[in-house]
Amino acid sequence: MDALEIMTNIDNVIPYYQPVFSADEHKITGYEVLGRIIAEDGEVHSLGSFFHDKDIPDEYKLEVDEAVTRKALAHFLQEKEQGLLFINRDPMHLIEGAGETFLHMLKEFKKEGLTLDRIVLEISEKTFFGDFDKLVHLLLYYKTYGIKIAIDNVGGESGHWDRLSQFSPDILKVDLHQLRNDISNQAYKNILFSLSMLARKIGSSLLFENIEIEYQLQFAWRNGGRYYQGFYLEKPSPNFLEEAILKNKLRKKCHDFIVFENRHLEKVYSLADKLQLKLSDQLPKLKKQAENDDTLLLLLANHFSNESFRLYICDENGFQLTSNLIKIKKEWKIESEFRGKNWSWRPYFLENIYKMRHERKGLLSDAYCDIETGELIRTFSYPIGEFQYLFMDLSYDFLFEQDGLLY
């Protein structure tokens, strides 16, 4: 349907509702309002292309937006829904004058019993090219009424994460569509993990959307998702659903994820224990044979050639006391230029040093992408003496053989 046909039949626009599920209660916690129109033949069409078409006048979009929203709010009150209602708005429209109209409409329904803290205003920060400070002030103004703010379409392509903290959005919506198309994309997974850290820092909840397969749901669960949305759970519907419709299914999936994660952690700690036991057994004998620290690394390399591809020793402040010993094409090479470099700038470095010093045991890192090789690796660090710590980088090939240790 073209724009004029939609405007001529604006009475036929209706809201559809896509459920949002909570991770803690496994129930529907709210709905996102989506625009639809009933054609003459009774078929229901999405209005997505209408709202995203840049050639359609803004006043058309605003009129249809308001028609859909008013029907959704009326239905929401009529059904006495107690959850959240996510309403999409173009931030450019809000800042150009429609912001007050939107608030006035909500106040109208407030008189009929709507509590504004159930409204989640959903905007896409990426599509905004106006005065960002003015947008921040408008959103903070909305929040004084209890309206929650969700930032949509947050993900690997966003270059403005720093701006989000200015108004501490209540919810960050992360699109997992790309993860379905490229499950092995580790760089993308790392970006999403960083985003989960950002959400925690600025006090926002993560909503993972476009969940279409079980793997995406597991990823959302493992990466701090408080809310889930997507066709794998429920498709948009013209009606509100029973809030516990997927409770049993989600509880079962959650249990499966927990079992899987516990098995994974068991493998991680088992490997750390094996490395610790092997080191504690070999180290006293090798220290007696070594003339210096670089020689000690060479002796260690002979015992850990299957597991490791890089070894070095640092002091408690992160200064490297040895050369790098690195395996290249099955041959161990000494890289003396690394001696004296400082690694205290690395995330968690000093915290891990303290843990090793305090607990007198080694630590196995999470899987990460090595800067030099570009491969997924883990690092085992171990206290080998007073103020000395061995760092052993475990190779991708070795971790691959261990099953489950490459994530």
Residue ranges of domains in the chain: 3-228, 260-402
Structure confidence at residue 104 (pLDDT): 95
Helices (H), 149-246: 161-164, 177-181, 186-202, 214-222
Structure confidence at residue 131 (pLDDT): 81
Closest listed residue to residue 24, CA positions, set 258, 251, 256: 251
Phi, psi for residue 104 in degrees, rounded to 5: -60, -40
Structure confidence at residue 162 (pLDDT): 63
- Cα(193)–Cα(205) distance, integer angstroms: 14
Phi, psi for residue 402 in degrees, rounded to 5: -80, -15
List pLDDT tens digits, range 290-309.
989 999 999 999 999 999 99
- Cα(116)–Cα(103) distance, integer angstroms: 10
Segments of the chain scoring below 70 in pLDDT: 126, 155-165, 183-184
Domain 260-402 has CATH 3.30.300.30: no
- Cα(229)–Cα(72) distance, integer angstroms: 19
Structure confidence at residue 160 (pLDDT): 58
CB 323 within 8 Å of CB 314: no
Closest listed residue to residue 173, CA positions, set 115, 126, 222, 131: 126
Homologous superfamily of the 3-228 domain (CATH): EAL domain (3.20.20.450)
List pLDDT tens digits, range 87-146.
999 988 898 887 899 999 999 999 999 999 999 999 987 677 778 888 889 999 999 999
Structure confidence at residue 155 (pLDDT): 59
What global pTM score does this model have? 0.88
Return the structure tokens found at 86: 């996510």
